[in-house]
Chain A
Amino acid sequence: MTWTPEPRVLVLTRARDETADYVLRELNRRGVPFMRTDVADFPLRTALSAELRPEGSWRGALTGASRALALEGLRAVWWRKPTPFGFPSSMSGPERAFAESQARRAVGGILGSSPEVLWVNRPEAIADCTKPRQLSAAAAAGLTVPETLITNRPGDVAEFAERCGGRVVTKSLGSIRYSGEGKNGRLYTSQVPPHRWNDPRISLTAHLFQREITDKAYEIRVAAVDGRLFPVVIRAPEGPGRLDWRRDIDNLNYTSTTLPTAVEEGIHTLLHSLGLVFATLDIIVDTQNVHYLVDVNANGQWGWIDQTHEPIIHALADLLEKGTR
């Protein structure tokens, strides 16, 4: 085991996480001691032992294969992209459910019990950053949000679409990732043509519909770190990427930009209301320079954009190094 001096930053993420790696390399360069582990490492590769002290804090350690962290020294937790707890494969379903219930309460409860620790972000804030909540909070913060309908009533879609001039899109309410039928795929934003407005399969669950911004000029991805904003213009060529730039990721053009003051202020208000110290936000800008907030990713990606790569690394490293709320 490699003991580092008083680790005070805990990074929870999967084994492959290049985005986190850039920040961790910067923490190494700065000599900031940290421990990296995955939720999946518990309990087979990481051990947790904590004892309640009389004044109410937990004293103990999280001990991994190569590093260990004393709970009383913890100052910051970076909740990146952890994967599920890893239990022996011989456990039955009910045994696994019990073990996971125990682990969630212990690991989450102990790490989350210290009011001194800075979280990037608190897991419940990530979980609560649902599309309905973020769009509502964005509108309340003064940001412009496209007209949006969430429904499982097909008849309401037709009425909504007509009010939107007949141009609506639908998008996933959650992750764009889908695995099933032995296939992996993505659920990209798509147009909903009139002959689909009354599709009876809309009734099978909730679906989100939004007015299509037909005079889109470009899009902006904004990374927000502890009150600092890093906006980049994303331009997609004609084709599928014009509607959802993730569909044409190899042919995008990026340029640095600035945001109107009112949009900046709206973003700060929005993130404060969502309890997020980090997020990436997606904005569509139309030809009239109206900025439409369309998405808030509480744990969004940013590492591939050269224009903001280095500043975000340093901003996140600054935040984790500072730690403590």
Chain B
Amino acid sequence: MHSLAVSRLPISSLQAGDQEAGPLATRPFGLDLLTVLPEDSWSEPVVTVHPVSQLSQIGDQICIESPEFRSSGSLLTDTSARPGGQEDEDG
């Protein structure tokens, strides 16, 4: 019988970290790749799931049926990803 490797469930937290950076001498080289996103792109509206259709909604507007949210940027950013799009993808 199959069973999931339960300690390895891939679950992504969307919480932004606010811990201060450590000293440069011990900052991993790979973090030099970092491109900081504009602060105004971080905010996330309150999103719920429509009880009947089960689709994402903001206020009473189904996201994929709204021209505002169907814009290129929103489609790209998908889920809650911010501009840039594939935030949950590997590099």
- The residues of A with any CB-CB pair to B shorter than 8 Å are 2, 11, 13-22, 24-25, 28, 34-36, 39, 56, 65-67, 79, 81-85, 104-105, 108-109, 111-115, 122-124, 126-128, 131, 170-190, 196, 199, 201-202, 204-205, 207, 246-247, 249-250, 280, 295-297, 299-301, 303-304
Q: A104 near B30 (CB under 8 angstroms)?
A: no
Residues of chain B within 8 A (CB-CB) of A84 are 11, 13
Q: A246 near B47 (CB under 8 angstroms)?
A: no
Report how far A189 CA is from B91 CA in the complex, Å. 7
Residues of chain B within 8 A (CB-CB) of A172 are 30, 33, 90-91
Q: A250 near B4 (CB under 8 angstroms)?
A: no
Q: List the B residue with the shortest CB-CB distance to A17.
A: B79
Q: List the A residue with the shortest CB-CB distance to B21.
A: A181
Q: A123 near B63 (CB under 8 angstroms)?
A: no
Q: B84 near A249 (CB under 8 angstroms)?
A: yes
Q: B8 near A123 (CB under 8 angstroms)?
A: yes
Report how far A299 CA is from B19 CA in the complex, Å. 28
Minimum distance in angstroms from A105 CB to a CB of chain B: 5
Across chains A and B, the number of contacting residue pairs, with CB separation under 8 Å, is 241
Given contacts A16-B47, A105-B6, contact A39 B64 (CB under 8 A): no
Q: B63 near A186 (CB under 8 angstroms)?
A: no
How many residues on chain B are close to A (CB under 8 Å)? 70
Write 17 A-B pairs (CB below 8 A) sorted by A numbering. Answer: A22-B64, A28-B54, A66-B54, A131-B90, A172-B33, A177-B81, A177-B88, A180-B21, A185-B34, A185-B36, A187-B30, A187-B34, A188-B35, A201-B26, A300-B86, A301-B81, A301-B86
Query: Interface on chain A toward B: helix, strand, loop, or mixed SS?
Result: mixed
Partner of A16, one of B28, B30, B63: B63
Q: B91 near A188 (CB under 8 angstroms)?
A: yes
Given contacts A18-B78, A172-B30, A189-B91, contact A81 B12 (CB under 8 A): yes
Query: Interface on chain B toward A: helix, strand, loop, or mixed SS?
Result: loop
Q: B83 near A16 (CB under 8 angstroms)?
A: no
Minimum distance in angstroms from B54 CB to a CB of chain A: 4
Q: B29 near A207 (CB under 8 angstroms)?
A: yes
Among B17, B35, B49, max chain A CB count under 10 A is at: B49
Given contacts A14-B14, A174-B90, contact A124 B34 (CB under 8 A): no
Among B33, B76, B84, max chain A CB count under 10 A is at: B33
Partner of B28, one of A14, A114, A201, A246: A201
| Given A21-B56, A185-B37, A202-B29, 7 extra CB contacts under 8 A | A13-B79, A14-B79, A18-B64, A22-B64, A25-B53, A127-B8, A207-B29
Q: A199 near B29 (CB under 8 angstroms)?
A: yes
> What 0/1 readout, one digit per residue, does chain B (34-58) give for beta carbons within 8 Å of chain A?
1111000110100111011111101
Residues of chain B within 8 A (CB-CB) of A202 are 29
Given contacts A18-B75, A112-B4, contact A177 B87 (CB under 8 A): yes
Residues of chain B within 8 A (CB-CB) of A56 are 1
